[in-house]
């Protein structure tokens, strides 16, 4: 008889599976039993185009049941994912099968076996549990365990021990055989299921009194995860504590609650912990979690996550704390150290610009330039970049002024009546009392002093006007007696400087003194 029942069940399911042509499949079938009503719930994959769920119910002794106007199934429109079936027979075995209908067709079935009973006992693996229920039978019945093996037989209103062993213990001498009391020793998951009293011992007979033993583990050690492996300061962070409970039979659902440890603040929502606006002080916070099931069983503690929020670059400074610096050509600039408050260590880039464009100098914290040249005057910028978010950057500028001694490039002398042109001549002829003007092209930083001297005299520093690298000045009034070599010296305090020597031939004006000299 048992083989025939299994064959019928499998045949019905196979006939349905032939129709299945697509996904997505429903999952996680759970059954809650209240009185003679079974509330069946399941999960439907979202965003998969599911239109409805189709549900079948099979009584292992009577076959498929009619659920909707003469039909042996019920179509439940999406997104509803639960269905209540009333007036089911107590202590009966049922199979519920669910499939989903999407645009691609009917999915595969998910099938769950369950038993109708309001008497449920729960035991942990390796523990002992007492099962108890009432039956109206008083004689000629068998108390069976889930695999169908008799635990004991009642005959002549007395218990006749049917097995030898230590798995089940019961009072053989009881006078109340209608009250079943059994102790299941060293519970294993195979002990889970329907325990029942059946008249005459025939399995195809209706049970008269039963209970279900649920075998459970304590919640599994949770796995604690974080939604960002490297959260940044000022961002929110979410921890998720995941744990499961193994229970047999599988349709008995469990409800877990979660507790977090090590967090001084935050909002717990079911199995998540949300910390808003991380701060630097959160660094080193040690977070762990623990799960507790609806039976009060507590899991082991999860592995910890140590918070290490990223931040920076903050407080970018130079050491020495220069904003501008003068350095002499040919000497060493630096070392200039760039520092920043970062976690982890940031990327440092020194850049240089003479105009608007910045080019990379090096990718170190320290700037050192040996034998600096005058064309290396400009802005040196230390830019600090976070290694895990290159959009986060902070920069600081250093203005470098490379100083060097003067270099006279060109020289020209003229009077007010002559066209001004560069000549670089070394000999110039003029009439005395002419306002002699000098133009010099000098590369110098800082600006030089210009001193005119000869073997006979030395003049105060020349006053000049500057236009770029051109220096315009007027020489002191000279007479014909001053003719000779004159030296023009440019110096700015940096060694060497530069000089230029010219020969000035100054002709006297025609006057009485001159005529007198000529006569002599």
CATH class name, domain 120-216 = mainly beta
Q: Which CATH superfamily is domain 312-403 in?
A: Immunoglobulins (2.60.40.10)
The vertex-453 CA angle with 450 and 456, nearest 5°, equals: 165
37 DSSP β-pair partners: 34
pLDDT, position 86: 94
- In the block, tokens 């105060």 appear at 460
Residue range 406-507 forms a domain whose CATH class is mainly beta
pLDDT tens-digit profile, the chain (520 residues)? 333 333 333 333 333 333 334 467 788 899 999 999 999 999 987 777 888 999 999 999 899 999 988 899 999 999 899 999 999 999 999 999 999 988 888 888 999 999 999 999 999 999 999 999 999 998 889 999 998 889 999 988 899 876 656 789 999 889 999 999 999 999 999 999 999 999 875 656 788 999 999 999 999 999 999 988 888 999 999 999 999 999 999 888 888 999 999 976 888 899 999 999 999 988 889 999 999 999 899 999 999 999 999 999 999 999 999 999 999 999 999 999 999 999 999 999 999 998 889 999 999 999 999 999 999 999 999 999 999 999 999 999 999 999 999 999 999 888 765 554 556 778 888 888 778 888 999 999 999 999 999 988 889 999 999 999 999 998 888 888 888 999 999 999 998 899 999 998 888 887 544 433 443 4
The pLDDT score that the predictor gives to residue 7 is: 32
Q: What is the pLDDT of residue 426?
A: 84
**514: preceding bond cis by omega (within 30 degrees):** no
Q: What distances in angstroms separate CA 508 from CA 184, 215, 453, 474, 482, one per listed residue?
A: 140, 130, 20, 20, 10
Buried b or exposed e, range 488-498, using 16+ CB within 10 angstroms: bbbbbebeebb
CATH of domain 6-116: 2.60.40
Q: How far apart are CA 437 and CA 45, in angstroms?
A: 95
* CA dist., res. 204 & res. 465, Å (int): 122
Beta strands across the sheet bearing 286-293: 256-261, 286-293, 305-306
Q: How far apart are CA 413 and CA 433, in angstroms?
A: 15
User: Which are the contacts of 60, defined by CB distance < 8 A and separation ≥ 6?
Assistant: 5, 9, 92, 93, 94, 95
Handedness of CA 277, 280, 281, 284 (dihedral sign): positive
Q: Dihedrals φ, ψ of 265, to 5°?
A: -155, 180
Cα separation, 483 vs 432, in Å, equals 9
Given 3-state DSSP classes, what are the helix, strand and coil percentages for the chain, each rounded to the nearest 5? 5, 50, 40
- Pair type for strands 333-343 and 359-362: unpaired
Please provide the DSSP assignment of 278-324 as one string: --GGGTT-EEEEEEEETT--BPPPPPPEE---BEEEEEEEEES--SE
Write down the pLDDT at residue 163.
62
Tell me whether domains 120-216 and 406-507 share a fold: yes
The residue extents of the domains of the chain are 6-116, 120-216, 220-309, 312-403, 406-507
CB of 497 closer than 8 Å to CB of 448: yes
Q: Which residue has the tokens 């762990």?
A: 288
pTM: 0.68
Looking at domain 220-309, its CATH class is: mainly beta
Q: CA 79, 85, 91, 96 torsion: positive or negative?
A: negative
Nearest-CA neighbor of 211 among 92, 87, 121?
A: 121
Q: What is the pLDDT of residue 305?
A: 93
pLDDT of residue 421: 58
pLDDT value for 11: 33
Q: So what's the pLDDT on residue 286?
A: 93
Identify the CA nearest to 331 among candidates 382, 366, 376, 363.
Answer: 376
Cα separation, 265 vs 278, whole angstroms:
11
Judged by DSSP in three states, 189 sits in helix
Q: Residue 104 has what pLDDT? A: 80
């Amino acid at each position: 008889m048992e083989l025939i029942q299994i064959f019928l069940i499998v045949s019905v399911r196979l006939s349905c599976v032939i129709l299945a042509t697509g996904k997505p499949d429903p999952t996680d079938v759970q059954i809650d039993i209240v009185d003679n009503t079974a509330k069946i719930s399941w999960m439907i994959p979202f965003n998969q185009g599911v239109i409805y769920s189709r549900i079948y119910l099979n009584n292992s002794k009577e076959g498929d049941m009619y659920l909707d106007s003469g039909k042996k199934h019920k179509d439940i429109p999406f997104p509803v994912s639960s269905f209540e079936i009333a007036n089911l027979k107590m202590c009966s075995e049922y199979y519920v099968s669910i499939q989903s209908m999407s645009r691609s067709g009917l999915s595969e079935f998910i099938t769950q076996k369950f038993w109708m009973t309001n008497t449920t006992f729960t035991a942990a693996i390796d523990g002992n549990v007492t099962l108890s229920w009432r039956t109206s039978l008083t004689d000629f019945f068998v108390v069976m365990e889930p695999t169908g093996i008799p635990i004991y037989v009642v005959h002549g209103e007395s218990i006749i021990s049917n097995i030898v062993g230590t798995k089940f213990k019961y009072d053989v001498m009881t006078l109340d055989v209608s009250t079943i009391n059994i102790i299941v020793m060293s519970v294993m998951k195979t002990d889970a299921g329907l325990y029942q009293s059946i008249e005459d011992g025939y399995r195809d007979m209706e049970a008269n009194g039963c209970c279900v033993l649920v075998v459970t583990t304590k919640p599994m050690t949770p796995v604690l995860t974080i939604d960002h492996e490297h959260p940044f300061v000022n961002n929110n962070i979410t921890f998720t504590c995941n744990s499961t409970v193994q229970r047999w039979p599988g349709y008995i659902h469990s409800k877990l609650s979660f507790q977090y440890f090590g967090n001084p603040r935050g909002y717990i929502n079911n199995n998540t912990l949300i910390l808003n606006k991380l701060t630097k002080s959160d660094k080193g916070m040690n977070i762990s979690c623990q799960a507790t099931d609806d039976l009060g069983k507590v899991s082991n503690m999860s592995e910890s996550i140590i918070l290490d929020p990223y931040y920076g670059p903050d407080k970018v400074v130079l050491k020495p704390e220069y904003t501008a610096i003068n350095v002499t050509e040919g000497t060493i600039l630096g070392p200039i150290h760039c520092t920043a408050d970062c976690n982890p260590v940031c990327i440092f880039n020194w850049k240089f610009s003479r105009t608007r464009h910045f080019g990379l100098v090096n990718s170190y914290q320290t700037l050192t330039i040996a034998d600096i040249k005058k064309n290396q005057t400009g802005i040196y910028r230390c830019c600090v970049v976070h290694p895990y978010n290159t959009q986060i950057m902070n920069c600081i500028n250093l203005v470098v002024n490379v100083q060097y001694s003067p270099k006279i490039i060109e020289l020209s002398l003229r009077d007010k009546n002559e066209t001004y042109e560069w000549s670089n001549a070394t000999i110039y002829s003029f009439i005395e009392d002419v306002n002699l003007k000098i133009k010099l092209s000098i590369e110098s930083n800082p600006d030089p002093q210009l001193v005119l001297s000869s073997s006979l005299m030395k003049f105060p520093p020349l006053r000049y006007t500057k236009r770029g690298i051109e220096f315009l000045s007027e020489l002191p009034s000279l007479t014909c007696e001053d003719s000779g070599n004159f030296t023009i010296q440019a110096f700015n305090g940096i060694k060497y400087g530069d000089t230029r020597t010219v020969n000035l031939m100054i002709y006297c004006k025609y006057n009485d003194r001159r005529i007198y000299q000529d006569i002599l």
